[in-house]
Amino acid sequence: MLDGKNILIGITGGIAAYKICELIRMYKRSGANVRVICTPNALNFVTKLTLQNLSQNEVGIEEFSISDFKPEHISFADEADIMVIAPATANTIGKVANGICDNLLTSVVCAFRKPIIIAPAMNCGMWENIFVQNNIDKLSAAGMCIMEPEEGFLACGSNGVGRLCSLDKIYEKTVEFLKQKKYLSGKKFVITAGGTIEAIDSVRYISNYSSGKMGIALADIAFEMGADVTLITTVDTEKPYRIIRVKSAFDMKSAVEAEFDKADYIIMAAAVADYRAKNIADHKLKKTDAETFSVEFVKNPDILKGLFELKTNALSNCSGQSAIKSPIIVGFCAESENLIENAKEKISKKGCDYLIANDISRKDIGFSSDYNEVTILKKDGTMKHLPRASKREIATKIIEEIYE
């Protein structure tokens, strides 16, 4: 099943380290080439000789034992198709989440640009710790796959959540990543995410509650399916693909239009502000004695509508030429009432190929939730409802639907 695949396992210093010997065997039985890196503490629980024998490869521990002309952490990162860190201790999770590279394993993760699976295992109190949870959120937001620990009797004697998830689950997830069809390879996706930020003066702005999670999930999935992804976003995020940071609707418009000619798909998942302040003060506006304060707003350009106009112009200027590239344009439609009715009106007004309608009035889906439920409208008038699921699952289905 895993013939020709290179799996890099990172073992950190937790009692569950002994279980990873069996995981190595499972990968090897499937035909994978397995390399192992250990933190120095991991060797308190499992020996280098055992890991070496099972993986049939030298085990990496020291960062500066350079075997060839490339630093060890770069050659490990280059070689592997996937990295699996199991068990991942709270200590290593904290280091990875904060970009600390103080041993070979953490340096490799920092340089790694392919899928990373992290399987934490620790005492239940540590797992529930707010800082550990914040670090887990950071890793997950950076696109790493977290295999949540399970509940049960822990090696420290307590009962709770913290036990390494089953090796079968880790194995299946690895196969899922490695077998993922890269059917978007060669396709360029431009995706926007997050709410735009419209300045009022040098210290104040207006924006909206959009978290950017849906757009980022779309970018992650397109990237995992092999696409060349550019994410244009107001959200501060680190990803293994190209990110263009913007603030205002105007910035976003220029960034998206600059990518237009190269794109096969443009997905406008951003919540673009409809208005901006007419005059932006270049200093902090002072409080006055008046009880009210007004800012005059003017309309922002409609980026999505503009893309349709660019597409129409490009197509009409090239009549007769068959090789004209015109991206598939996908819009989002955030509504708090009359979802489908408003979405139908928007798709015809904006002229996009697909419109993804979501109900932002529901608390269990939408804006900052990790879940969504949407209806995909196509320009031919047909519709497809996607029931409530994680934003990653919804993103996968949207991409499958729009991919032609």
Annotated catalytic sites, by residue?
156
Q: At its nearest, how many Å lie between ligand CTP and the CB of residue 303?
A: 3
Among residues 115 and 331, whose Cβ is nearest to ligand CTP? 331
Q: Total residues contacting ligand CTP (rule CB under 6 A)?
A: 14
Residue 369 carries which DSSP code? S
User: Looking only at Cα atoms, what is the longest distance across the chain?
Assistant: 79
Nearer to ligand CTP, 125 or 301 (CB): 301
Contact in structure between 86 and 46 (CB atoms under 8 Å): no
Asked if 61 and 40 touch (Cβ cutoff 8 Å), the reply is yes
Q: How many C-beta atoms lie closer than 10 Å to residue 354's C-beta?
A: 20
Between CA 350 and CA 344 the distance in angstroms is 10
Rounded to a whole number of angstroms, the minimum distance from the CB of residue 143 to ligand CTP is: 22
We find the least distance from the C-beta atom of residue 168 to ligand CTP, in angstroms, to be 41
* Site track for ligand CTP across 334-363, x = CB under 6 A: x-----------x-----------------
Residue closest to 276 by CA, chosen among 298, 254, 304:
298
At residue 341, the 3 state secondary structure works out as helix
**24 touching ligand CTP, by CB under 6 A:** no
272 is a contact residue toward ligand CTP (CB under 6 A): yes
Task: Tell whether residue 38 is a contact of ligand CTP (CB under 6 A).
Answer: no
Is-contact 233 270, C-beta < 8 A? yes
For 313-339, the DSSP string reads: HHHHHTTT-TT----EEEEEEEESSSH
- Report residue 361 as tokens: 């009035």
164: which DSSP letter?
A: P
Nearer to ligand CTP, 85 or 329 (CB): 329
Residue number, 88 or 270, with CB nearest to ligand CTP: 270
Mask for 283-322, x = binds ligand CTP (CB under 6 A): -----------------x-xxx------------------
Query: Residue 329, interface with ligand CTP (CB under 6 A)?
Result: no
Closest-CA residue to 136 (of 164, 192, 102, 96): 96
CB distance 89 to 12 below 8 Å: yes
H-helix or E-strand containing 354?
strand 354-359
Tell me: does residue 249 bind ligand CTP (CB under 6 A): yes
Closer of 11 and 268 to ligand CTP (Cβ): 268
Does position 136 interact with ligand CTP (CB under 6 A)? The reply is no
**Is there binding between residue 37 and ligand CTP (CB under 6 A)?**
no
Told to check if 332 binds ligand CTP by CB under 6 A, we report: yes
Q: Which of 176, 274, 341, 345 binds ligand CTP (CB under 6 A)?
A: 274
Helix (H) or strand (E) holding 280: none
266 binds ligand CTP (CB under 6 A): no
Residues making contact with ligand CTP (CB under 6 A): 249, 268, 270, 272, 274, 300, 302-304, 331-334, 346
